Amino acid sequence: MQPLRFMTGLLALLLATSSSLFAATPADLGQLDIPRYAPDRVLVKFRPGTAAAEISAEHRNAHAVPLRSLPEIDVQVMQVPVGMVEDSIAVYRRNPNVLYAEPDYYRLLVMPREEPGPTPAGGANYFAEQWYLDNTGQNHTFVNQTIFGAFLDVTSGTPNADINAPQAWDLRRGQVGDPTSYDRPKIAVLDSGADCNVPDLRGKCLEQVDVVGAKANDTCPAGEPACDNYGHGTFVAGEAVANTDNAEGVAGVGWHTGAGIFKVCYLELVTDGFFLYEVGLCPVSGSSEAILRASTDQSVNGNLVRSQYQVITMSYASDLIDSAGNITQTDASSAECEAIALARDRGVLVVAAAGNNGDTSRTYPAACTDDQGRSTVISVAAADHEDDRVSFSTYSRSTDHWVSLAAPGQDIIGILPSANCNLAADNDSCVDWWSGTSMAAPLVAGAAALVWDDLYARLPAGTSRAAATCSYAGMPCNQAVRLRLEQNAAKVGANAQNLLSWTANGRLDLAAALRNDVTTGGGTAPVAAFRYDCIGLACNFTASGSGAGTLSYRWVWGDGTADGSGSNPSHTYPATGSYTVTQTATDSNGSTSVSTTLNLKAGKRSVSGSVSSDSGGSGGSGGVCTHPKGKC
């Protein structure tokens, strides 16, 4: 390994105006004017079946012009005059056919506080610095914050306060990335982009996708559409998939696993009146688009160029620092949570940082749920080298255990873009020590990829490996992977702490998740239930099942078309006739199915009813004519 070079200050940059440029940290943000949402964009969703003429008229009333759409969730991204976001939303919300209208909220990336960087203790032994992978109580570097400034120092933790990575790698090391393969788990990293030319990411980036576009302070060169001008995304990607055992840089949890780089956040400059500061802004329109793209096969001219990702990781959150320096939460985005729910229903496992609020307030997208209130995200809190909760980490209590797992998130060593160390060539590694739940989430994502690889190895030959259709132990594969991570997490810390006092499932233990299969049974199978409402041949279905933990649904329509998923699907039948529709509800205890027969007739006749595996259902209302002239 070559000698390491470090940044010698916050950033070795000065603007022509002589105003210094700094990376904003939580301590600075109370003085900065950071907007909650884009000043000229709104997201709007109309009720299905709303006439195109009515939609166009409502856009005119709101002074809104279409920018783009998110067709998978029927959301339109609209441009409005600067400063008129709230007025335009008020116009939309007066229309009963508008399901929701919301600002294009910004999720926030906050640069952890950097420090002058002398050569770390241990010299070139970077794996020894990664205490969170294998904690033997060894000395490691940490950032010592004092009233005189921050500097690197040496400390040690408690043995076994780690994720047991070496023991896990003896079992699974993942698969070399292949964009089109369905049986090689891969991770979509949604962040500020990544420097895919650094040694630790060379050959690991399966694709680079930009969903936010060029900005005044964040442009990318040709051939690098998802470059990283901020550094956060490179750090996160390296934790998950850095080249491992290559005598260079750091080890990534996913070992051989590849990653897709989605640039959903961009660098912006804000001021306190004298200094300029860097922050990362992540509009939910871009976040939602990236989630939908990552969870969908991508084809060009009918040829598959990239299959869907098995894992999505997001290390940005809705933290908002007000003028008094208090951290508050912004609202959930209906579009973002809907995109995540659809990704879950398509078989993808979504991981997100829980936030750095230091309290139990929900942050998004980590706290997203589906329309039945079930978690759709593995939310990750931050633990330290003693297995204690880091003081800044958001957490949860038993009364509202929305934070699923903890993973190490303090004094994490990671890679940065070469430019951050003023390296002219990409033949050296630029590293730093950062803290945050942003650092904890990619450890879980890398672990999920290895568990998924192990799950594929257990499936019988010929069984579907595509995330959207993969099934294991009577449940979708993404649910099986989530359960293996949660069920096998450490419940007791290295110092005998109760890790369930601040997370729902404990601290990530990758080796245990690979050694132990998912546990099913021992409890009551879920109740499968749903309501149906049809007019003519068009039917809407609403799941109302119950069970343990997160339920997922599969639907067989009875007309020979592809199965459906989700809790509120719609389906249009091809012709008048009788169709048997079957819902299968799955939770950690197994699966239950329930069926009913729909007698449909083209026209305006309505048919509705409900059915449950518990009671056999209430039948249906038969045929009720809704045509204004009775012509059904």
Mean pLDDT, rounded, for 71-87 = 97
Amino acid at position 576, single letter: T
How far apart CA 257 and CA 251 sit, in angstroms, is 12
What's the pLDDT tens digit per position in 454-488? 999 999 998 999 999 999 998 999 999 999 999 99
- Per-residue pLDDT at 52 exceeds 90: yes
What pLDDT is stored for residue 330 in this prediction? 57
pLDDT tens sequence across 168-189: 999 999 998 889 999 999 999 9
CA 202 to chain centre: 24
Q: Which of 318-332, 516-530, 585-599 shows the lowest mean pLDDT across its residues?
A: 318-332
User: Hey, what's the torsion of the CAs at 365, 290, 413, 404, to 10 degrees?
Assistant: 30
| Residue-level pLDDT at 32 | 59
> How many CA atoms lie less than 13 Å away from 465 in the CB half-sphere?
20
Which domains, and CATH codes, for the chain?
36-96 (3.30.70), 127-515 (3.40.50.200), 529-612 (2.60.40.10)
Confidence check: pLDDT of 560 > 60: yes
Q: Is 27 exposed, middle or buried (0-12, 13-18, 19+ CB in 10 A)?
A: exposed
The residue-averaged pLDDT of 62-91 equals 97
322 touches 29 (CB < 8 A): no
**How does the average pLDDT of the chain come out, rounded?**
86
Q: Residue 550's closest CA among 340, 369, 336? A: 369
Q: Which of the residues are catalytic?
A: 191, 232, 438
pLDDT at 23: 53
pLDDT digits (tens, 9 = 90+) for 86-140: 999 999 999 999 999 999 999 988 766 555 543 333 335 588 899 999 999 999 9
- What pLDDT score was predicted for residue 205? 97
User: Cβ neighbours of residue 208 under 8 Å, at least 6 residues apart?
Assistant: 193, 194, 196, 224, 225, 226, 227, 260, 261, 263
Phi/psi at 81 (5° precision): -60, 145
- In the chain, the amino acid numbered 547 is G
Phi, psi angle pair for 505, to nearest 5° = -130, -10
Tell me: pLDDT of 425 over 70.
no
Give the pLDDT score at 114.
55
| CA angle (310 as vertex; 306, 313 as ends), nearest 5 | 105
CA angle 309, 313, 318 (to 5 degrees): 140
The predicted structure's pLDDT at residue 423: 66
Q: How far apart are CA 83 and CA 35, in angstroms?
A: 12
> Which pLDDT belongs to residue 375?
92
Least confidently predicted of 14-28, 165-179, 326-340 = 14-28
Mean pLDDT is lowest, of 65-79, 301-315, 546-560, for: 546-560
Q: How remote is the C-alpha of 148 from its chain's centroid?
A: 37
Read off the amino acid at residue 161: A
Number of residues that this document lists for the chain: 632
Q: Place 217 in a pLDDT band, splitting at 50, 70 and 90.
A: confident
**DSSP helix/strand/coil, 131:** coil
Tokens of 414: 């990671």
pLDDT at 357: 86
Please give the pLDDT value at position 11: 24
pLDDT band at 371 (very low <50, low <70, confident <90, very high): confident
Q: What is the pLDDT of residues 603-624, one digit of tens each?
A: 888 899 999 987 644 444 444 4
Contact, 180 vs 452, CB < 8 A? Answer: no
Residue 457 half-sphere exposure toward CB, CA atoms < 13 A: 14
Q: Which residues contact 486 (CB under 8 A, 6 or more apart)?
A: 378, 404, 405, 504, 505
143 token code pair: 């950032």
Q: Are 228 and 195 in contact (CB under 8 A)?
A: yes
Per-residue pLDDT reduced to its tens digit, 239-268: 999 999 887 789 999 999 999 999 999 998
What is residue 560's DSSP assignment? S
Structure tokens at 256: 């051989």
Q: What are phi and psi of 65, to 5 degrees?
A: -120, 130
What residue type is assigned to position 598 of the chain?
L
| Among 403, 414, 190, 229, residue whose Cα is nearest residue 315 | 190
**DSSP state string for 122-161:** TTT-HHHH-TTTS-SS-EEEEEEEETTEEEEEEEE--TT-
> So what's the pLDDT on residue 565?
80
Cα gap 537→575, rounded to integer Å = 7
Lowest mean pLDDT among 353-357, 402-406, 621-625: 621-625
* Residue 407 reports pLDDT greater than 50: yes
Q: Which of 549, 248, 277, 266 is nearest to 427 (CA)?
A: 248
Contact 267, 218 (CB under 8 A): yes
- pTM score of the predicted model: 0.81
Contact 124, 471 (CB under 8 A): no
The whole-number average pLDDT for the span 327-343 is: 83
Checking if the pLDDT of 238 tops 80, the result is yes
Residues 416/430, Cβ–Cβ less than 8 Å: yes
Q: What is the CA radius of gyration of the chain?
A: 25
> Does 574 sit behind a cis peptide bond, omega within 30 degrees of 0 on the bond before it?
no
